Amino acid sequence: MELIQQLVNGLSLGSIYALIALGYTMVYGIVKLINFAHGDVFMVGAFVGFYSITILELPFLPALLISMIVCAIFGVLIERIAYKPLRNATRIAALITAIGVSLLIEYGMIYIRGAQPEAYPNDVMPTSKIDILGVSISSQSLLIFFVAIVLMIILQFVVHKTKIGKAMRAVSFDADAARLMGINVNNTISATFAIGSALAGAAGVIFGIYYIKIEPLMGIIPGLKAFVAAVLGGIGIIPGAMVGGLLLGVIEALVSAAGFSLWRDGVAFVVLILILIFRPQGLFGKNKREKV
Amino acid sequence: MTTNKPLLKVDAVGIQFGGLKAVSNVNVELYPGELIGLIGPNGAGKTTFFNLLTGVYVPTEGSISLEGQNLRKLPPYKINQKGISRTFQNIRLFGDLSVIDNVKVAYHSLAKHSMISSILRFPTHFKGEQEMDERALEFLKIFNLDHYQHELAKNLPYGQQRRLEIARALAANPKLLLLDEPAAGMNPQETHELMNLIAFIREKFNLTVLLIEHDMSLVMGVCERIYVLDHGQLIAEGKPEEIRNNPKVIEAYLGEEVVS
Amino acid sequence: MTILKRAKGFWLSILLSCIFFTIIQTMISGGLLNPFYQNTIMLIGINIILAASLHLIIGITGQFSIGHAGFLAVGAYASAIMTMKLEMPFFVSLLVGGLMAALAGLIIGIPSLRLKGDYLAIATLGFGEIVRIVLLNIDYVGGASGMQVSHLTTWPWVFASVLLTILVIRNFTSSTHGRACISIREDETAADSMGINTTYYKVVAFAIGAFLAGIAGGLYAHNFYIILPSNFGFLKSFDILIFVVLGGLGSLSGAVLAAILLTVVTTFLQDYPETRMIIYSLVLIIMMIYRPQGLLGTKEFTSFFKRKGGHKHDNEQTIA
């Protein structure tokens, strides 16, 4: 029964990874950039949620929405200011910029409000335990999982049924052709950043409620792991990011359950290196070859 | 000329990408000293065929051998060392290296001085490097590129870049030279000079040349034999005049451009 | 240029650097430099080695590796184990540190160098994190509370290592082997088709870079009284990366200059770490947007003193 409990924990954690991974994967799919700052958008989301709940005294759902909106705007600003001028630059230049933006957000945050952590109030959501078939599961775990699933379903709808979703798919397939077909590529890229960042913001709020403690450097490790999740599922593939995130969460929970909790942070990177070596296109990806 | 053994023998070679057959069942024999054209409409698989010959792609069927030696599964650098050298359709020079250094890279596999001797600056290093310098300069003179030797390759005019790429390919001392649309983007005057150059190096270095060309009129003028590829398959082979009148070739090129 | 001329420039720069060494050594033994300045000089030296070693991997071979602190960590811990646990002499410990880091370079390099660009970057980043987490979990080296190390790093050791690093990298780069690496940076497919064994040279660059970073690790460990896994996180890798990027990808003297400049800046901003990081990251972003080739581009410091068309890479030891 211990095992099942750990699995549930893993799925909750994994759904946070999945939400962040979606932003990585969408952005990579469309501009071929590893947006290192994405983990920090997640951090900003956690803080916006925190202040909404404590200062504005809002309940969970409005706080979640505010956080998503603020992060969406923030993501678009990052893209317009830092990444857009580099769209035709080398990959290395873009990657270095992304690292720079990430550090700027982290240390800018510390500069503004200090490095001290904050604690989410623990009465945002009921914390009762629910017994299912002899396994006690916290209602928070279920709620997190539920919220994540709802957001992913909405995302699927946006990507497959709306005009902007079609534009996103077209641009990620071939930006030049999309432009010729009259799609506004700049707006589509901005929309992608907005959606991805909103999901990261939501992940930040959920993280705060689940793990209580938040601080300005909290985005680094979950951000990197979410990237691992995106690679695991096949970068650029939206369902891949979801599955990759959940899978990574479960793997970590199982490693902890096996008594290696101190090694937990290392597992993600071992998974990353293994997947890069043996199946660099990811679980769901197709093998691509370079044109010579 | 075709009495001796073939230099290159391509036996029923093909490759699939996913389910798509990009090239299938291609048989080609090149004899020492020949200048052969490989033509075909856009997307016929010409460059893919070059990539198969040079080891960039591993064929899923068939075999390729050079002077009787099987080249299957050899990586590109080994195939180059065995004696097949190439140029690329979209010029691939080492842009931030100087013109002479581009040629020296091609000499690399012939270098006698080891990494240790270079790091510790043994006399063998200086001797080896000086030999390379001298050879490379001699080589650039043949191509009239010697006065550009210290320019960065990326700063050369387009036509000179094409020349340099051919020079670099030749510096590796190949037996077979593969040229992928060498005249692309050139004006008639430059094209004419290029063809003279190809004829000249072929004589001088005792080379076999396989030339991909999109423009049929150009190949007709210089090549002794021509292979025609369409949809990944050989549809004709023969002397220029035979190819010119081959109904299959005319059909393949119809809607593509006017056959002259 | 003849061999004779080249050799002349070489010996001249060796001579100049020896004079530089003696001046600093005299100042240290004469008590003219207080411990703060001495420490800054050691750090500059160590950072030059790190910058130069990463330059070989990124700037010359074009392999975007962002886990360099991992090699630093392996070297630091390996050499600390040598002196503190096995009571070996400092020289041996530096060498072992370098060799262990080179081994780590081979282990991570051989599989990951099949990856390109972004993927390689992430794999090396992952490697750096794995090293840190492994060190965190080994009680033999103190885990999270770190390992005590005696202070053995002195100016002669630092100077000799810097000189060795720069000579090795310079000599390697300006040879056919270095050109092979540059050709990989410029166009891997073309390099491969011109007879360059690209995998071999990528691994070689990785191993040499890791070896030198390992030596820097030995010096680093014995410059402080304690080493902690948290000294070798992603931020450390980033510090090294910024030397190479700021100096100009492909320029050894650029990387060395940037290492000197930024170490000095860091020392002055020691009490304001956030400000330092904000400045660093802003510099990086603005640099990438307006001057992505870095301060010197691929040029070397010495080429500014030469006639146009002169040979590029020559003696840059003079500034070390």
Confidence band of B64 (pLDDT split at 50, 70, 90): very high
Q: Residue C281: enclosing H or E segment and its boundaries?
A: helix C273-290
Query: Is residue A99 in a domain?
Result: yes
A-chain residues near B88 (CB < 8 A): 292
Residues of chain C short of pLDDT 70, as ranges, are 1-7, 301-320
Tell me how many residue pairs between chain A and chain C have CB atoms under 8 A apart.
Answer: 117
C-chain residues near B98 (CB < 8 A): 312
Taking the CA of residue A22 and the nearest CA in chain C, the distance in Å comes to: 17
Query: Does residue A67 contact residue A205 with C-beta atoms inside 8 Å?
Result: yes
Do the Cβ atoms of C177 and B118 come within 8 Å? Answer: yes
Confidence band of B2 (pLDDT split at 50, 70, 90): very low
Residue C234, both tokens: 């992603």
Is the pLDDT assigned to residue B19 strictly greater than 70?
yes
Please return the burial class of C307, using the count of CB atoms within 10 Å of its CB with bins 0-12, 13-18 and 19+: exposed
A-chain residues near B52 (CB < 8 A): none
Please enumerate in sequence order all residues whose Cβ is within 8 A of that of C21, keeping only pairs 6 or more positions apart, or say none: C155, C156, C159
ipTM for this model: 0.90
Please name the amino acid found at residue C292: P
Please enumerate in sequence order all residues whose Cβ is within 8 A of that of A235, keeping only pairs 6 or more positions apart, or say none: A24, A25, A28, A29, A282, A285
Do the Cβ atoms of B88 and A289 come within 8 Å? Answer: no
Query: Does residue B168 contact residue C194 with C-beta atoms inside 8 Å?
Result: yes
Interface test with C, best of A225, A273, A281, A289 (most C CBs within 10 A): A273
- Count of structural domains within chain A: 1
Please name the amino acid found at residue B21: K
Query: Is residue A147 in a domain?
Result: yes
Confidence band of B68 (pLDDT split at 50, 70, 90): confident
Q: Which residues of A245-275 are buried (b: 16+ CB within 10 A; e: fewer)?
A: bbbbbbbbbbbbbeeeeebbbbbbbbbbbeb
Interface test with A, best of C120, C122, C278 (most A CBs within 10 A): C122
Measured between alpha carbons, how far is B131 from A170 in angstroms, rounded to an integer?
54
In this structure, what CATH number is given to the domain that contains residue A6?
Answer: 1.10.3470
Looking at chain B, which residue has its C-alpha nearest residue A289? B17
B121 in C contact zone (CB under 8 Å) = yes
Instruction: Specify the 3-state DSSP secondary structure of B10.
Output: strand
Instruction: Specify the 3-state DSSP secondary structure of C56.
Output: helix
C285 in A contact zone (CB under 8 Å) = yes
pLDDT digits (tens, 9 = 90+) for B140-166: 998 889 899 899 999 999 888 998 999
Measured between alpha carbons, how far is C121 from C104 in angstroms, rounded to an integer?
16
Taking the CA of residue B254 and the nearest CA in chain C, the distance in Å comes to: 34
Which pLDDT belongs to residue C111? Answer: 77
DSSP letter (8 states) at residue B24: E
Query: Is residue A125 in a domain?
Result: no
Which pLDDT belongs to residue B3? Answer: 55
Query: Is residue A286 in a domain?
Result: no
Tell me how many residue pairs between chain B and chain C have CB atoms under 8 A apart.
Answer: 109
Confidence band of B245 (pLDDT split at 50, 70, 90): confident
Q: Do strands A129-132 and B69-70 pair parallel, antiparallel, or not at all (unpaired)?
A: unpaired
Measured between alpha carbons, how far is C223 from B34 in angstroms, rounded to an integer?
68
Domain annotation for chain B: domains and CATH numbers: 8-253 (3.40.50.300)
Residue C81, both tokens: 């184990």
Domain that holds residue A150: 2-115+130-278
Partners of A137 in the β-ladder: A130
Domain annotation for chain C: domains and CATH numbers: 37-319 (1.10.3470)
Please name the amino acid found at residue C276: R
User: pTM to 2 decimals?
Assistant: 0.89
Query: Is residue A288 in a domain?
Result: no
Of C6, C186, C190, the CB nearest to B88: C190
Looking at chain A, which residue has its C-alpha nearest residue B46? A292
Segment B240-248 mean pLDDT: 85
Taking the CA of residue A25 and the nearest CA in chain B, the distance in Å comes to: 24
pLDDT digits (tens, 9 = 90+) for A181-211: 888 899 999 999 999 999 999 999 999 988 8
Residues of chain A short of pLDDT 50, as ranges, are none
C-chain residues near B115 (CB < 8 A): 172, 175, 177, 204
